[in-house]
Amino acid sequence: MLRQITYRAVLAVTGIVVAIVIVSTLTNWIKDRWRPSHLQRVKDSGTLRILTLYGATTYYPTLDGFAGMEYELGTRFARWLGVRPVFHAVDSISELLPRIMKGEDDLAAAGLTVTDVRKLYLRFSTPYQMITEQVVYLGGNKRPRTISDLAGHRLEVMAGSSHQRTLEILKQRYPKLAWQALDVDIETLLQRVEAGRSDYAVSDSHQFATLRRFYPRLKAAFDLIKPAPLAWAFSKNHDGSLHREAQKFFRHLQENQILAQLREQYYGHVDALGYVDIYTFRRHYKERLPKYRRYFEQAARKHGWDWRLLAAIGYQESHWNNHAKSPTGVRGIMMLTRQTAKQLHIQNRLDPGRTIPGAARYLSQLKAKIPARIPEPDRTWLTLAAYNIGFGHLEDARVLTQSNGGNPDRWMDVKKHLPLLTRKKWYSRVKHGYARGHEPVRYVENVRNYYDLLVRLTEGPISPPKRRQAPVSSSAGSSAHSNIPETTPAAL
């Protein structure tokens, strides 16, 4: 009798449990069925939460707001969705990865390398750039040429980076390879190499190409890996709908050459200057610019330019030498021709108080001729080309660009066609004939570099609100607490 009662009680309890499980499962299914997708929640909220890193290739402040490749892409994606971008910039990769894995933000746009390990924890968008990982050393020291040459030297990487994972894989073949992982950004690592606090650092190639202008004594020794893709990262805790929309977005950018245009905007000019060019510029910045800076600032305020762009033009023209004179007769700090000076009512081309504001006024006149439909920064780069070669020759190059299937409103396309003005096959087809078309290309690239250097020298390095330089881990086994969750590898 007792057994029968017990058996019935067990059946009753089991039935209740099964019913609860069924109800709970149905409830969750209904919730999931009717819960808005991740994409819809973003649209309903009106904001896109973008996780990023401070840095010259990602996200950094300017006088007008923010800039950077990731800032540009993230802003465009938000516009694509019809929402407002909200950027959350963190200090280090080891802080960023756990946040995006948990889904605290909608996506991570931070120049992340796609690796097999990271794909276990994250969804990645279509790649938008290919890079390599490079070993960086201080010029003047012996150049390492192989991985074996790194043994016995102070090698540093960013904690939680793909670089750390690369070294862990390489250590299986090179047991003597050792390094220290620091919870800092790439620029801090480069500063440490330049100061002699470490012998080598590992950097992504696009980062080093951008930053080497500010640390001209540093050099790339060799690549650690074959080219690898950069992409956005999405949490697997979300349903994938926003990720799928991002795939459509990147296809649109690729098909319309917008990605190529953005790569040109941020990286197309960074290799134009050599070590001597940068060293000489820095010396003249200290010795010559102070005498003329007020003229550049006054002219910029009056004519609506950034004074540093005017100064960059002045440096390209004369190296800030007010008595400069070319064999063709152009003179002064802005190297004005007699005809241009006459047009601007400037009698003395050696008077910087007249020639600098005159050049700024002339630059504004040229820019007004450039079609207003052309967006920045292309409109400014085209204006600089016209300042160098003349507006008529620039228009000829734009005609050739269009006739060859390019976009005459994009500097990226026009700069490929300007050199054609040196060849009879091409200059015979246009109105103004022959021109030394290679010169405006070099001119614009140099001015862009000098401008970037002036921004860095006047504003200082890109600095997050805080910096943590304590070691996170080393290959030798000593380690401190890492921000990466214990359920994931220390290096992603």
Q: How far is CA 135 from the centre of its chain?
A: 20
User: E-assigned strands of 54-146?
Assistant: 60-62, 65-67, 84-90, 107-113, 122-124, 129-131, 133-138
Across the beta sheet with 133-138, the strand order is 218-223, 133-138, 200-204, 155-158, 180-182, 471-474
Q: CA–CA separation, 232 vs 73, rounded Å?
A: 10
Residues assigned a catalytic role: 317
Given CA atoms 74, 76, 81, 85 in this order, what sign does their dihedral have? positive
Tell me the residue type at 100: I
Residue 324 makes CB contacts below 8 A (sequence gap 6+) with: 317, 318, 331, 332, 333, 335
Q: CA–CA separation, 387 vs 350, rounded Å?
A: 19
Planar angle of CA 86, 99, 234, nearest 5 degrees: 75
Provide the pairing of β-strand 122-124 with 228-235. Answer: antiparallel
Planar angle of CA 68, 69, 73, nearest 5 degrees: 115
Q: What is the CA radius of gyration of the chain?
A: 28
Nearest C-alpha neighbor of 444 from the set 351, 361, 327, 366:
366
Q: CA–CA separation, 416 vs 447, rounded Å?
A: 18
State the DSSP code for 133. Answer: E
Q: CA–CA separation, 159 vs 201, rounded Å?
A: 12
- CB 216: neighbour CB atoms within 10 A? 19
In a 13 Å sphere around the CA of 193, the CA atoms on its Cβ side amount to 29
Q: CA–CA separation, 380 vs 386, rounded Å?
A: 10
The 10 Å CB-count burial string (b at 16+, else e) for 235-268 is: beebbebbbbbbeebbeebeeeebbebbebbbbb
Q: CA–CA separation, 197 vs 184, rounded Å?
A: 14
Start-to-end C-alpha separation, the chain: 63
- CB 390: neighbour CB atoms within 10 A? 15
